[in-house]
Amino acid sequence: MSLRPILCAHLIRAIDEELICLLSSLQPAEWDAQTIVPFWKVRDVAAHLLDTALRKLSAVRDGCFVETVEIRSSADVAALVHRLNREGVAVYRRLSPQLLIPMMREACAQSADFHESIDPFAPAVFGVSWAGEEQSLNWFDTARELTERWHHQQQIRLATNRPGILTPELYHPVLDCFARGLPHLFRDFEAEAGAEVILNVTGECGGRWFLARRGSGWTLVSETNGKAAARVTMPQELAWRLFTKGVDRETARAQVEIEGDRRLGERVLQLTAIVS
């Protein structure tokens, strides 16, 4: 049986309320603290969160597209996303906290209203490309949005020595969404029918995900059949950084346990649940 949809629209509001409180607590020098994102300080990550919220509302809610871009491959998607991100950060990083925070509060409120209003099972405007989908349903796009809001806020918390947001309510759905990229990651890997790869994330926010070989492809299933070809175990503190390119994989390996077929287990470490 396949996994259930991640119905988390209500969590967009919750995670962004945490963001507003976080930004409001920062001291002036902390806005220039370096994050784990190369070349991005705290102000750049905050600018990115404002830009993406406004951009999503403009394009998806309001249907405002000011340029036409031909997309023929995943590389084209990545190039477009990276360009738009650079442009947005270049503009909004110039804002003072006194301007950025009220703008963020308004953008977040409208974003939460929007995600809560849409049919989760209707087609989304944009597919979740890192999961290999050209067409996704709204619930998956909203879950992807949650992962973006969560992990960028976590980057700010890490850079400023603030307590993290590793709570089951907010972090487990993020991990669940990340895991949805595994079937696409394994699409070219051969294994015997029924073979499973188990991802085990330890900690109160973690869980287990079962990737099974079915026919000519791989799919996530809700229960194991006992045919684990490989088992990969990692702590929850590492998982989000590994899957968002927030730690190099050689460093991550020291905290990861792989049992069984290392070829399959090592592949899990290549999961990237962002546009890279």
Q: What is the pLDDT of residue 272?
A: 96
State whether residue 230 is helix, strand or coil: strand
Is CATH 3.30.70.980 what the domain over 182-268 is classified as, yes or no? no
Decide if 245 contacts 82 (C-beta within 8 A). Answer: no
With the C-alpha atoms ordered 179, 111, 88, 156, is the resulting torsion angle positive or negative?
negative
d(CA 103, CA 97): 10
What pLDDT, in 10s, does the model give residues 52-83? 999 999 999 999 988 877 777 778 888 888 89
d(CA 21, CA 19): 5
55-58 CB contacts, 8 Å cutoff, 24+ apart = 55/84, 55/88, 56/111, 56/114, 56/145, 57/107, 57/110, 57/111, 57/114
Q: What is the pLDDT of residue 225?
A: 84
Helix axes 97-117, 9-25, angle to 10 degrees: 170
d(CA 135, CA 228): 31
Q: What is the pLDDT of residue 2?
A: 62
Decide if 188 contacts 254 (C-beta within 8 A). Answer: no
**Ranges of each domain in the chain:** 9-165, 182-268
For residue 204, give the amino acid letter.
E
Decide if 153 contacts 240 (C-beta within 8 A). Answer: no
Q: What is the pLDDT of residue 141?
A: 98
Q: Per CATH, the architecture of 9-165 is what?
A: Up-down Bundle (1.20)
DSSP state of 227: -
Provide Rg for the chain, Cα atoms.
19
d(CA 237, CA 206): 10
Which parts of the chain register pLDDT below 70? 1-2
Q: What is the pLDDT of residue 45?
A: 98
Q: What is the pLDDT of residue 193?
A: 86
d(CA 236, CA 203): 6
Contacts of 17 (CB under 8 A, 6+ apart): 108
Half-sphere exposure of 183 (CA within 13 A, CB side): 20
Q: Which residue has the tokens 């597919």?
A: 127
pTM attached to this predicted model? 0.95
First-last CA distance in the chain: 30
d(CA 120, CA 137): 7
Q: What is the pLDDT of residue 254?
A: 94
d(CA 182, CA 107): 32
